[in-house]
Amino acid sequence: MVLAVIRHAESIENADKYNGFYQDRRPWDGRAAHAISRTIVGLTPRGFRQSAWLGRELAELTGMGRLRVLTSTYRRSIDTADVAFTAWPGQCERTPLLDEQHYGDATYMTKAELFATYPDGADDRRQRKHLWVPPGGGESLADGVMDRARRFVDLAQAAVRGGQTVIAVTHHTTILALRCLLEDRPLTDVVDEARRAKTPNAGIYRYQLADGRFEPIGSAAPPLNL
């Protein structure tokens, strides 16, 4: 049995972020911005096509019977799973362990607005992004996100040992933390790699449990012309 970690398909924020979500100055306060990110931002038409591709790409897993599909509590993750795994309508589990990094009051701020509003955190945001704690109740990648990722890996290990195939639909930053743990790599290496090439929308990372640890067994991404 295996674990598949997937980034949600293309969202309207991914496709059009600088024309509506990141404006200087931002038209929403932090609480409203986070609510928009979690509950409103859905998929583009391309995102729906990528989700359908995921269903085809993972068809061999969905035929294994004891399938467990988990998503974050964000709409774009839920919609990706619902389209990809249409044979399990309403059966995909939602868990905050897979949520995107909480950016607090910094949600949807441009860098210029963020640095002007919160200058004390500018150096961490520029040079040590994994350690940066967003203002107003946010969580860092190295602490809050990593803690949730550890708990999810424990959950996934127990499920796979119990004979389940686990599919996790989540977000770019959460995937960085998961890859650090699943691939036994320093977080800084994974973050540096992501600066050069961000996790593709609908990208898949596959892992197999062997001798009590997950080992990577391959990755895939949807065609660019979808």
Residue type at position 85? F
Q: What confidence tier does 21 reach under pLDDT thresholds 50, 70, 90? A: confident
Q: What is the 3-state secondary structure (H, E, C) of the chain?
A: CEEEEEECCCEHHHHHHHHHHCCCCCCCCHHHHHHHHHHHCCECHHHHHHHHHHHHHCHHHHCCCCEEEEECCCHHHHHHHHHHCCCCCCCCEECHHHCCCCCHHHCCCCHHHHHHHCHHHHHHHHHCCCCCCCCCCCCCHHHHHHHHHHHHHHHHHHHHHCCCEEEEEECHHHHHHHHHHHCCCCHHHHHHHHHHCCCCCCCEEEEEEECCEEEEEEEECCCCCC
Residue type, 199: T
Asked if residue 141 has pLDDT above 90, the reply is yes
Tell me: pLDDT of 89 over 60: no
Distance CA(114)–CA(123), nearest Å, equals 12
Per-residue confidence at 92, pLDDT binned at 50, 70, 90? confident
Which pLDDT does position 62 carry in this prediction?
65
pLDDT score for 64: 56
Q: Cα separation of 165 and 161, whole Å?
A: 9
pLDDT at 65 over 70: no
Question: Could you read off the pLDDT of 117-132 as tens digits, one per residue?
Answer: 999 988 989 889 899 9
Cis peptide before 66 (omega within 30 of 0): no
